Amino acid sequence: MCARVACRVDRRGMILVDIILAMSLAAFFVAIFSSTIYSAEQSFERAHDSVATSTADGGNVSLGLASPFHVPVSDMPYCSDDFMGSSSVSTTPAITPVISTISLPISPTIPLTHLEVRNNTAFISTDSAVASDPDLFVVNIGTVGKSIFVATSSSIISSINTGPGIATFSLVGKRIFAAAASAAAQLHVIDFLGTQTGITSLSQPFLENKYKLPLPYATATPPYATAISFDSVGSANQSVNSRIFLGTEKWDGDEFDTIDVTNPSFPAWTSGFEIGSKVNDIVADSGIAYIANAGTDQLIDTAGWRFSPTGWSRQEGESVSIRGGRLILGRTSGGYNIITDPELFVFATTSATKDIPGGVYGIIQDDNHIYAITHQTSQELQIFDLALSTSTVFSLPTQPQSITCDGDTIYVLSNTSPNIYAIKFAH
């Protein structure tokens, strides 16, 4: 046996050695983690540059849906800077689009809610009244040619039933953050099994986690989620914070909430504020969220700016888009049209408005034009110059539900049938 003082000294020495060893290991892992984050961010930036170059050439590049997650990324698709292939700011589109119908192998009884496309793979959410129906489909929609969409058929890669329906979603890397039409949990996080890139990694979706918004009081009735957007800020030299901006129906709590998803397996509520009405759309840009809603202030941003147009008592802020500092709001017509209460608003160096009797239900932009989907019969696709001074209209064989883009192709999801319409401009 050792003397009591000697044993105490030995134990203190061992503890000191343990502390030094732990600090060394911690420094080692921090160095590895920082290097990994930096490499991941560089890979993301290189992929972004590659897509921009390829899109300008009319090509099509796969980013790989298993790309690193914890880097500053966006849920915005990579799309052409000019879908018409011309840098000139023409007053009216000189090129007539080729519109191809992609028939989806989905039951026409299932309501389709939102569409995103990445590298010829469509992600489609649904909100069916039948409990056994899938809430998300992953569909191979064929091959994009240089001037037309080649395939008009499609095949289901996978699907998932999350329980309730999905109102809309954000596709970020290989994860989907879904605004769930559920009072039990308003945010659903969907991931895919496997680490490979490409189609093989999309065959096994699973529900990674669900998150329920905090109640303002114990007996409050929880809302359904209605809108969502993803935002990530930071760099290789600072911590990266990833957030979900979630909108809901009008209820007794906050209709706009910010949820930390830096660790997507463990979402955490960080803040919220009351809109006073249903949130219909959210888009995030440079750390600021822009919120289209059904209230008096039909467009709000999280920096404190509010916009209250005339006609707010009949019309709702329905869709919002931002590109290069150009912010656009689309809203419903309110059931009947009043010319002095426009449905399309552009906020830029020079602001503009446009009366669209069918209301605006989705917007995308390129450097020279604004593309809007409306419920105006035989004018479901409308293309404007940036000043909204001129437009060209095209008929779609459907009432449109959602609009998105991938590369140099615009995609419109039907609200009345299981179809996607691929829109390309022959260059």
91 within some domain: no
**Residues 111, 9: one domain?**
no
Phi, psi torsion values for 33, nearest 5 degrees? -60, -45
179 within some domain: yes
Query: What number is the average pLDDT over the span 2-28?
Result: 48
* pLDDT tens string 292-351: 999 999 999 999 999 999 999 999 999 999 998 999 999 999 888 999 999 999 999 889
74 within some domain: no
Question: 75-102 burial by CB neighbour count: b if 16+ within 10 A, else e?
Answer: bbbbbbebbbeeeeeeeebebebebbbb
Phi, psi torsion values for 28, nearest 5 degrees? -65, -45
Q: Is the pLDDT of residue 257 over 90?
A: yes
pTM: predicted TM-score of the whole model, two decimal places: 0.81
62 within some domain: no
pLDDT for the residue numbered 236: 54
**Residues 119, 13: one domain?**
no
**Residues 109, 37: one domain?**
no
pLDDT for the residue numbered 26: 47
pLDDT, averaged across the chain = 82
**Residues 118, 219: one domain?**
yes
Q: How many CA atoms lie within 13 A of 247 on its CB side?
A: 30
**Residues 110, 175: one domain?**
yes
**Residues 194, 295: one domain?**
yes
Domain with 226, as residue range(s), is 97-425
d(CA 232, CA 335): 38
For position 236, which CATH number holds? Answer: 2.130.10.10
Beta carbons of 125 and 178 less than 8 angstroms apart? yes
**Residues 143, 4: one domain?**
no
Q: Who wins on pLDDT, 107 or 237?
A: 107
Q: Who wins on pLDDT, 44 or 180?
A: 180
pLDDT for the residue numbered 194: 64
pLDDT for the residue numbered 95: 72
* pLDDT tens string 26-67: 444 334 333 333 333 333 333 333 333 332 333 332 223 333
d(CA 301, CA 319): 14
With 0-12 / 13-18 / 19 or more C-beta atoms within 10 angstroms meaning exposed / middle / buried, residue 132 is: exposed
Q: Of 214, 324, 223, 327, whose CA–CA distance to 278 is shortest? A: 223
**Residues 112, 243: one domain?**
yes
The number of folded domains in the chain is 2
71 within some domain: no
**Residues 411, 350: one domain?**
yes
pLDDT for the residue numbered 144: 59
* pLDDT tier at 25, thresholds 50, 70, 90: very low
* pLDDT tens string 210-235: 999 999 999 999 999 999 999 987 65
Q: Percent of the chain, pLDDT > 70?
A: 75
Helix boundaries (H) for 223-376: none
Written as six digits, the tokens of 369 are 């034009």
Return the CA Rg of the chain: 24
**Residues 48, 130: one domain?**
no
**Residues 39, 109: one domain?**
no
With 0-12 / 13-18 / 19 or more C-beta atoms within 10 angstroms meaning exposed / middle / buried, residue 24 is: exposed
82 within some domain: no
* pLDDT tier at 142, thresholds 50, 70, 90: confident
**Residues 112, 175: one domain?**
yes
Q: Are strands 165-172 and 369-374 parallel, antiparallel or unpaired?
A: unpaired
89 within some domain: no
75 within some domain: no
Judged by phi (left if over 0) then psi (alpha if -120 to 50, else beta), residue 163 lies in left
